[in-house]
Structure formats: structure tokens, C-alpha cells
Amino acid sequence: MKAGCSQLYPLALVLIFNICFYGSYQLSELQVCKLCSGSVQNDTAVGEFCSSSAGRIGGRCCLRNDNTTDPERIIGLDLSNCSLTHVEDLHEASTALMIDLSHNPIVNISDTAFQGFIELNYMILPGDILCPGGNTSWSKVEVKAGDRLCQGQKSMCNQTGQLSIDCPENSLCAPYGPGFFECSCADSYHGYKCLREGEFPALQVFGPLGASTVVISILLWVTQRRKAKSL
């Protein structure tokens, strides 16, 4: 009975580590909602969008209000009137459909700030700031009441089977945010420039990683046990 329990300790440690890591990830996911004080107001663009989407307000974010495995999913971000001068890293809100950055003295937006924002469909910016990716990345761009509106993110991939001349052979093109695309290997291809055909050797690649995680967990447990005995 004791031997069976001792075998469960490493597995329990791995489980606890995963839970703690996931919890810390969820916490960091919400930090973007606290970039400035206040919360989303009902009469703002993001507030109205959140209400129509049956979302819930959390600081400067509109969160999906359901019981899925991703309850903290950000669908709207309102950082208007936050005295922002630079926009460099908002990746925690990469699932947002709407972002409002209006009424900020922005002087620079990083070229990669919205890389990976594949669902972003509506942006409000100060009138003198260009839409991410340029006008060609959006179906409609207009300046209204001093704000620049970017609507309907366009795919950077062509429409002939989602292939792109910029992707290597045996790969597919997929949107990756305003002005960006990514290339992924087609079925049965993998490796550098998708030149290798056949199934990806997942066991050979990830097997040692999983084993090393277990070994580290066991060593940590043994170390803690020895310290406890020495006290």
C-alpha cells in the first residue's frame, strides 16, 4: 500500500504544477484589463458591443460570459483615454474582436503589436494613427469625429485555396493579424520549410520532454522529503 502511494506523489506534483501554471496564466491574461483605471462604460463602443454580445465587464475588458474551458476570454478591450503614448504589447487580448485606443496621445504603435489578433474586426484609434497593417488590411477605413475607424480585417492570404506565393511548397497560408499571415505545413508534411513527408514524430520529440518533467518532479519531491526529515 505504501509503495502504491509513493508512486502517486510525483504524479500529484506534476498535476499541482500544471494547475498552478494554468492559474498564473489566467491571472496574467487579465493584466491588460488593468492597464489604466476605471472600467468599460455602457455608453461606449466597447460597452455597447459587450452588451449586445452578452459579455461581462472586467476592468477595461469585455469577457465572454459562458461556462466554457476558457471563461476569461477577452472579446473587447477599451483603453480609450488612458494617456497611452506607446502601444507595444497587448498580446493578452489577442482574442479581442473590438479594441478602442481613442483619446490617447499615441506617438508610436509597434509594427507587431497586433500580430496574432486574427479575430480583431473593429478598431478605434486617434485620427492621426494609421490602422495596423495599413488600409489594405481592412475592408473599411474612415476618420470620424477625430477618431480613425478600422473595420473588417482582411486576410493577407490570396483566395486560391489559401495558398500564398510567400509560403513554401507543401504549406498553407493563414491570417495572423492585420497585415500578417503565417505558413503552416499541409497534411502529411512537416519539418524545415515543410520538406519532410510523413507523420510528425511526436513521441520521439515530446516523449523525452515528458520524461524529464517527471524526473524533475521526483527530484524536487525527494529533496523536500529529505529537508523535512532533517528538521
pLDDT value at residue 15: 45
Express each pLDDT in 121-150 by its tens digit: 999 999 999 999 999 999 999 999 999 999
The Cα–Cα gap between 169 and 172 comes to 8
Same domain, 131 and 99: yes
pLDDT of 67: 62
105 or 28: which leads in pLDDT: 105
Q: Is a pLDDT exceeding 50 seen at residue 203?
A: no
- The Cα–Cα gap between 163 and 172 comes to 5
Residues 109 and 129 in one domain: yes
The residue-averaged pLDDT of 180-206 equals 74
Res. 6 pLDDT band, cuts 50 70 90: very low
- What is the predicted pLDDT for the residue at 211? 55
| Of 137, 161, 130, the residue nearest 151 (C-alpha) | 137
pLDDT of residue 80: 97
User: Do residues 173 and 145 both lie within one domain?
Assistant: no
Pair (132, 185) in one structural domain: no
**Is the Cα torsion angle 189, 194, 200, 202 positive or negative in sign?**
negative
Q: Which residues pair with 140 in a beta bridge?
A: 151
SS3 185: strand
Are 123 and 204 in a shared domain? no
- Establish how many alpha carbons lie within 13 A of residue 208's alpha carbon, considering only the half-sphere containing its beta carbon: 3
Q: What are the angstrom distances between the C-alpha of 93 and each of 9, 20, 54, 173, 221?
A: 37, 21, 18, 23, 36
Residues 6+ positions from 33 with CB-CB distance below 8 Å: 58, 59, 60, 61, 74, 77
Is the same domain home to 90 and 53? yes
Distance CA 225, CA 160 (A): 61
Q: Is the pLDDT of residue 200 over 80?
A: no
Q: The domain containing residue 78 runs over which residues?
A: 36-154
Q: Provide the pLDDT for residue 11.
A: 44
Please state, rounded to an integer, the average pLDDT across all residues of the chain: 80
